[in-house]
Amino acid sequence: MNVTESELKQVKAILAVLVLGLLSLLPLKASQGLGRWLGNRQWRKGEKAKMTFQTRRNISRCFPELDSDAQDQLVHESLRQTGCSLCEMGMAWLWPAKRTLKKIRQIHNKEIVSEAVAQGKGVILIAPHLGNWEVLNLWLSAHYPFTAMYKPPRLKLMDDLIKRMRARLGTRMAPADTRGVRMVMKALRRGEMVGILPDQEPEASGGIHVPFFGNQALTMKLLPQLAAQTGAVVICGYAERLPQAEGFDLHFRRAEHEINSKDLIQAATAMNRSVEACVRALPAQYQWEYRRFSHQPEGMPRFYD
């Protein structure tokens, strides 16, 4: 029997949901232990494994001040933390929200959030792929009217799951398209908070090359454009994974003030510097396996060759 590509993708989506269900049965200590084991396996494969190669390339270029031993340690720990992020998805998406929220131990600089909201100009939250951003999303939606922008997966089954799980405490999910941008603009005009992941490569037409950790990175225009157009307050947030399965700490920071500049290069550069400050505080828990520097400016050598 011939199986179409669409049917195969559907089967993979069903299997992914089943795996999430199994992961949700694990306590946090077990899921993180499994994640670290997966990361160790990836490390032992060496650079023949694409994830390990990309992690090492990113870290070596972004932390040239570290010697080779320190870079090795960071690569190894990054792979373990990536495994934890993967295995925590069952908890983040399928545990009852109250149970997940109880895993939050401390909230650092909480006043930054309340002061930003109190200004009534709308708040843009920069949420890098750092720590467990799903836990951050859950806390924000439990305390504030919150709209999160996301890129819908192609499979409806997965899209429905993502929307249902992220919206269970009231988060409005805004797709990364024209309709989603309108949703975000309306939320900001109501003085509400919107969350945007700032550190994935956009389409060429939606991006601009500015430095990130000293390397040229195709960076989204949307967030700095929204900041300039609306005058919204821009802050950063991330959820730190604590050792020994103790839970998570939330951290908030003010973004660099130039992010509201109408000069797009200046604003996008300020956004990347704001993300970089978060990452430097918790480097092992960043998504270093992602090909953040794939599209280099014309005439520049390929980053991952």
What residue type is assigned to position 138 of the chain?
A: L
Residue 176 lies in a domain: yes
Residue 259, domain member (yes or no): yes
Query: pLDDT at position 68, please?
Result: 96
Q: Is residue 303 part of a domain?
A: no
Q: Taking the complete model, does pTM exceed 0.75, yes or no?
A: yes
What residues in the chain have per-residue pLDDT under 50? none
| Distance from C-alpha of 303 to C-alpha of 298, rounded to nearest angstrom | 12
Task: Look at the chain and report how many structural domains it folds into.
Answer: 1
Range of the domain at 98: 5-285
CB atoms within 10 A of CB 168: 14
Secondary structure (DSSP) of 138-174: HHHHHHS-EEEEE---SSHHHHHHHHHHHTTTSPEEE
Matching residue, tokens 């939250």: 125
CA dihedral 41, 43, 45, 48 (to 10 degrees): 140
Evaluate whether residue 292 is within a structural domain.
no
Residue 305 lies in a domain: no
- Asked whether residue 233 is domain-assigned, the answer is yes
Residue 295, in any domain of the structure: no
Place of tokens 């399965």: 245
- Give me the helices (H) in the chain, please: 5-24, 28-45, 50-62, 68-87, 89-94, 97-101, 110-118, 133-143, 156-166, 178-189, 222-230, 264-281
Q: Does residue 196 lie within any of the structural domains?
A: yes
Q: What is the pLDDT of residue 156?
A: 80
pLDDT at 46: 87
